[in-house]
Amino acid sequence: MKVLLTGANGFIGRNIAVALTNAGHHVKPVSRSHGIDFCHMQAEADWLPHLEGVDAVINSVGIIGESGSQRFEPLHTLAPAALFRACSQAGIRRALQISALGADETAFSTYHLSKRAADDCLRSLELDWFVLRPSLIYGRGGKSADLFMRVAALPLIPVIGDGRQELQPVHISDVVATVMQSLTSSETRQTLDIVGNETVTFAEWLQWMRRAQGLPRGRLLHVPLPLAMAFARLGRHFNPMLQPENLRMLQTGYWADVQRLEQFLGRMPLPVEPRLFFSDAMPEGSSS
């Protein structure tokens, strides 16, 4: 297949690109580094010339915080919606959207709402679609995973409140495996939450990250949510990930029922192991 892959040089996208190439598919990469900026791709006509000869489309462009011209509405909603409608027009049936866990009816953040708007657009089209909603993803080179690794290595580990927010982090291997399965599965038109098989508190997750870095368990610094939000308001000028909204999303947790993913993959997601924190997506069946 010839697969148009947006976000092809991002954390998720580059891992998908490797798996696609290894499976014998041809990747047509899209990103600003490949000369295509989503800010200028908001009409179907912008996409149609790029869709010639394409058999399937995967959208993995996204940002975790706004900065400069990088805004949620054009990147998460307008450009992907235009891409999906262009697929419909060009007769490309298979379209996969990398959304995010929490982009559902409970969404409150601009991040989740902008993702959900594109998901809704895709779900409204007569295509063989998949909306994939990963939890926090860990693995080599993920931006949020790297930030948490750095936080975990601090002498005093800051956590929000009691640090008992529930997470089900998932390894990049399971995300890529779900994407690859979605590309060929005959059971289309599915919204799938991609979560790991273990639920862990945020504080404990950071301790696991310490252990993976060869550090002993650390002491926690409990920061009340309002104070953490005030720090984030200052910090966002240095790192777009430090947004008060992101802390509120973290506060609500990242977890879901793993059963549907297990059925879809025909196996459970990978158990957490220290080496996986530093690993790219591994080919199916090679993890043991």
Ligand X SMILES: NC(=O)c1ccc[n+]([C@@H]2O[C@H](COP(=O)([O-])OP(=O)(O)OC[C@H]3O[C@@H](n4cnc5c(N)ncnc54)[C@H](OP(=O)(O)O)[C@@H]3O)[C@@H](O)[C@H]2O)c1
Binding positions for ligand X, rule: CB under 6 A = 7, 9-13, 31-33, 36-39, 60-62, 64, 70, 75, 98, 100, 134, 136-137, 142-144
98 or 256: whose CB is closer to ligand X? Answer: 98
Q: How far is the CB of 30 from ligand X (least distance, A)?
A: 7
35 or 214: whose CB is closer to ligand X? Answer: 35
CA separation for the pair 132, 130 (Å, rounded)? 6
35 or 91: whose CB is closer to ligand X? Answer: 35
Q: DSSP readout, 244-288? A: HHHHHHHHH-B----HHHHHHHTSPPPPP-GGGGG--PPPTT---
Contact 157, 65 (CB under 8 A): no
Where do the H-state alpha helices sit in 35-126? 44-47, 72, 79-90, 110-123
At 124 the three-state DSSP class reads: coil
| Nearest position to ligand X, beta carbon | 62
150 or 217: whose CB is closer to ligand X? Answer: 150
Q: How far is the CB of 113 from ligand X (least distance, A)?
A: 13
Q: How far is the CB of 153 from ligand X (least distance, A)?
A: 19
Residues in the chain: 288
Q: How far is the CB of 275 from ligand X (least distance, A)?
A: 19
CA separation for the pair 100, 142 (Å, rounded)? 15
Locate 69 and state its tokens: 């011209």
- Quick one: which H or E segment has residue 149? helix 143-152
Q: How far is the CB of 189 from ligand X (least distance, A)?
A: 20
131 or 265: whose CB is closer to ligand X? Answer: 131
